[in-house]
Amino acid sequence: GAASAPVVAAAFHPSLATVGALLAVFGYVVGTYGAILCAELMKIASAG
């Protein structure tokens, strides 16, 4: 998962640990806002 990405990256290629951590955080941010957007769209669709 996203939490283990930096650990795996550091094990195989230590210079990629930072990239793995940044991508994990970015994935959480995109997922959170995507879920909020999806909930709002479903709320709009169910109101009609």
Q: What is the pLDDT of residues 6-44, one digit of tens each?
A: 788 788 888 888 888 888 889 999 999 999 999 999 999
In Å, the largest CA–CA distance within the chain is: 52
The predicted pLDDT at position 18 comes to 86
Determine the Cα–Cα distance for residues 45 and 16; give it in Å rounded to an integer: 42
Domain extent for 22: 5-47
- Into how many domains does the chain fold? 1
The predicted pLDDT at position 36 comes to 98
Tokens matching residue 24: 């994990």
Determine the Cα–Cα distance for residues 15 and 22; give it in Å rounded to an integer: 13
The predicted pLDDT at position 24 comes to 86
The predicted pLDDT at position 48 comes to 63
Residue 20: what are its φ and ψ, rounded to 5°?
Answer: -60, -40
Residue 4 DSSP code: T
The predicted pLDDT at position 19 comes to 85
Determine the Cα–Cα distance for residues 38 and 8; give it in Å rounded to an integer: 31
